Amino acid sequence: MEFNIPIKVEKLIKKFRENKAEIYIVGGAVRDLILKKEVKDWDFTTNLTPEEMQKIFTKNSFYNNKFGTISIVDGDDIFEVTTFRTEKGYSDVRHPDEIKWGKTLKEDLQRRDFTVNAIALEIQNLSVDKSTSPLNKGRSLNFKIIDLYDGQKDLENKIIRTVGNPDERFGEDALRMMRAIRIASQIGFLIEEKTFASIQKNAPLIKNIAGERIRDELFKILISISPSQGIILLKNSGLLQEIIPELIDGYGVAQKGHHIDDVWTHNLKTLDNCETKNPITKLAALLHDVGKPKSMIGEGEERTFHNHEIIGSRIAVAIGKRLRLSNKELEQLFKLVRYHMFTTEATQTDKAVRRFIRNVTLDYIDEMIALRRADRLGSGAKESSWRWELFKERIVEVQKQPFSIKDLKINGQDVMDILKIKASRKVGEVLEAIFKEVEEKPELNEREILLKKIEENK
């Protein structure tokens, strides 16, 4: 079979062959090549030990783990090559207690997670084409496919299935359960029946996995083609109950007014309609109404969710902390959930619009707009309205006005010079008073006008 691979990959393989070593392309790269998708990460396996590899790549490699993976640097690219290995014992349900270097490719493939990731490629017509573009576009090469577990058949049938016994695979590494759902979400596959039943059985094991590992897989689900399907799989498998149980509370919670779905379904539709690649914004879309079940008062058409955005922002931050988000990421998540209920009425003042921008901050305005658009579509409303378009225009216009004291065309030194005072609280009080006037009437922000206003404080 022929595949087009980058020239850097071809040269890397050639280097191993020149040293009489076995080397194969493995993992997601093979899966993506067969599916004719873009390969983002190239992984390899070899019979050489890490020490032997470093003797070949003396100046451009590093090795800092116990799992036999060496990283080889080629310009902006980093290629990971792992020694054939076998593994035993998984007392922490994540990492093997014992690792031994293997002798054959078969030993290495049988330890892998899913059949679609247990296919290896061996290059056949290996010779570097001197005419290949220096831009690393590569060329078409012949490969031998080594498929010991019918991975190609599962790719054809669009199925995710474990290599061997699923209970054993998930007992070795509980994160594989999240990974199964992530891969299914990314490429639109189903999870094979026995594999899915095993995830349901073993879902509580995910508690043994660090929050940041769960977060990484969740983020990949959130930015996949149809993220809601991944979240539904997480729910049906029992994993969502373990990692974000608060989200399930919205299941079956009906809403009144313009909403046509329960809270759970609305959150999923908002997620699918959120056009951004920012995973924090995607998470905010999923969680934006997570506070509704806790704030719910009344039944039927009389039901209300007063202050759900305030309650929801606290819940979202608690979830974010479990997922080990950074402080900056927590800030973004909080602001998007807390202030997503902003009004777009044409009658609101510029001051109100400025207050909204200050609350959200300029860093997250575009993400908030993406979330609000998704919220509208997720509610069954039209993508836009004249009020919404006017509001977006006003956001742009209002940003041209003074937002804080530092935007005034005077400063503290001007106050001290005119009032003949030293640095003190009085300087700040004068600037604050002047800013309040300018905030109401932005046209006052002219230096000559403001200098006269300082004199009025003598």
CATH of the domain at 303: 1.10.3210
Say what the pLDDT of residue 403 is: 67
CATH of the domain at 116: 3.30.460.10
Same domain, 350 and 286: yes
Say what the pLDDT of residue 96 is: 60
Same domain, 213 and 289: no
Q: Which of 219, 202, 223 is nearest to 324 (CA)?
A: 219
CATH of the domain at 165: 1.10.110.30
Which residue shows structure tokens 């065309």? 409
Rounded to an integer, what distance in angstroms lies between the CA atom of residue 95 and that of residue 172? Answer: 7
The residue from 150, 169, 186 where one domain ends is 150
Q: For residue 81, give its domain range.
A: 2-150
Q: How many domains does the chain have?
A: 4
Same domain, 146 and 7: yes
Say what the pLDDT of residue 117 is: 94
Same domain, 34 and 129: yes
Number of alpha carbons in the 13 Å side-chain half-sphere of residue 454: 25
Same domain, 173 and 215: yes
Say what the pLDDT of residue 252 is: 87
The residue from 349, 367, 398 where one domain ends is 398
Looking at the DSSP bridge assignments, the partners of residue 5 are: 139
Which residue shows structure tokens 């076998």? 86
**Could you give the 3-state DSSP secondary structure of residue 260?**
coil
Same domain, 132 and 189: no
Same domain, 181 and 300: no
Rounded to an integer, what distance in angstroms lies between the CA atom of residue 172 and that of residue 166? Answer: 10
Structure tokens at 102: 């293997």
Same domain, 30 and 125: yes
Is pTM, for the whole model, over 0.85?
A: no
Rounded to an integer, what distance in angstroms lies between the CA atom of residue 367 and that of residue 48? Answer: 47
- Rounded to the nearest 10°, the torsion over CA 391, 397, 401, 406 is 90
Burial 2-27 (b: 16+ CB within 10 A, else e): ebebbbbbbebbeebeeeebebbbbb
Would residue 136 be called left, alpha or beta, if left means φ above 0 and alpha means ψ between -120 and 50 degrees? left
Say what the pLDDT of residue 139 is: 64
Which amino acid belongs to residue 343?
T
Same domain, 258 and 384: yes
**Could you give the 3-state DSSP secondary structure of residue 81?**
strand
Same domain, 201 and 141: no
Say what the pLDDT of residue 347 is: 67
The residue from 150, 168, 186 where one domain ends is 150
Q: Are the beta carbons of 23 and 15 closer than 8 angstroms?
A: no
Say what the pLDDT of residue 134 is: 43
> Mind listing the pLDDT tens digit of every residue in the chain (458 residues)?
788 888 899 999 999 999 999 999 999 999 999 999 999 889 999 999 999 999 999 888 888 766 778 999 998 889 999 999 887 656 666 566 677 888 899 988 998 999 999 999 998 866 544 444 444 456 677 889 999 999 999 999 999 999 999 999 999 999 999 999 999 999 999 999 999 999 999 999 999 999 999 999 999 999 998 899 999 999 999 999 999 999 999 998 887 766 678 899 999 999 999 999 999 999 999 999 999 999 888 776 667 788 899 999 999 999 999 999 999 999 999 999 999 987 766 667 777 777 888 888 888 988 998 998 999 888 887 766 667 677 777 777 666 666 677 878 889 898 898 888 888 888 888 898 888 888 778 888 888 888 888 888 77
Same domain, 45 and 107: yes
Same domain, 131 and 198: no
